[in-house]
Structure 1
Amino acid sequence: MRLTDAAADRVKALMAGSATGVGGLRVGVKKGGCAGMEYTMEFVAEPARFDEVVEDKGVKLFIDAKAVLYLLGTEMDFVTDKLASKFVFNNPNQTSACGCGESVEIAPAKPEMLGAG
């Protein structure tokens, strides 16, 4: 998993403004929404026991162990338009999304993706 410059800058700004003890951003997926899965993010002091730790552009990402195969090759971006600012996941494993953009359908990475980060 990697970050765009905009996403890294935004995560750093949010971390700087949060309470002390934030070690990184934990990213995962959970079941939910009309398409089946939703991305999750939370600031945490340290990774959970089996989290994959990735550092990109000065940001520590802790990838939930249950989500690693769903997030291989994913790029997280931060976009701003006239009505909203949000994090966007550009995930090659995503097979579809709901119309409102709140949930996605994601397949585990194929064996040839296992070398990708």
Structure 2
Amino acid sequence: MAVTLAPAALARVQHFLTETPAALGLRFGVTRTGCSGWQHVADLAREQREGDTVFEQDGVRIFVDAVSLPLVEGTRIDFLKQGLGEMFVFQNPNATAECGCGESFTTSADAA
């Protein structure tokens, strides 16, 4: 499995990388937060860290740390524009529940 970018997300990340030539790609993972436990995080990768798994799609590298990988493997990242707002959206097959506001999620491993 891999972490993939929908066409709109791919274009948006390519735009960010063009504006920041020192960046290596996209860093994607999770952090503990919210009422459900995990929150997706995405930023530009400025270095490859020990333990990173690197996926590549159309020349864009996606760096995922070892702790995050089992929680995000198989995720499809999309980018949506709604009215005046823009946001990345994560279609994560590992998420079994989300909090009411949609900021955090749990997995079946969290329930065990």
TM-score normalised according to structure 2 size: 0.87
**Which residue of the partner structure matches residue 21 of structure 1?**
22
Q: Which residue of 2 aligns with 1:10?
A: 12
CA contact (8 A) 1:26 1:47 kept: no
What letter is aligned with 1:11?
V
Structure 1 residues not aligned, in runs of 5+: 109-117
Equivalent residues of 1:28, 1:67 under 8 A apart: yes
Which amino acid in the other structure matches residue 71 of structure 1?
V
1:58 Cα offset (Å): 2.2
Encode CA deviations 1:42-77: one digit per residue, 9 max, x unaligned: 212221111000001221100111111111111011
Alignment of 1:74 with 2:85, yes or no, is no
> How far apart, in 2, do the equivalents of 1:105 and 1:58 lie?
31
Q: CA RMSD in A?
A: 1.4
1: CA distance, partners of 2:51 / 2:103? 27
Moved more, 79-88 or 22-31: 79-88
Tell me how far 1:83 sits from its aligned partner: 4.2
What is the CA–CA distance in structure 2 between the aligned matches of 1:107 and 1:9, rounded to whole Å? 32
* Deviation >6 Å, runs of 4+: none
Q: Deviations over 1:69-95 (max 9, x none)?
A: 111111011011124211011011101
Identity %: 37
Matches of 2:58 and 2:100, distance apart in 1: 32
The 1-side partners of 2:6 and 2:62 are apart by 13
**Residues 1:103 and 1:83: Cα distance change in structure 2 (over 3 Å):** farther
Residues of 2 paired with 1:44 and 1:92: CA distance? Answer: 23
- Output the CA distance in 2 between the equivalents of 1:89 and 1:60: 17
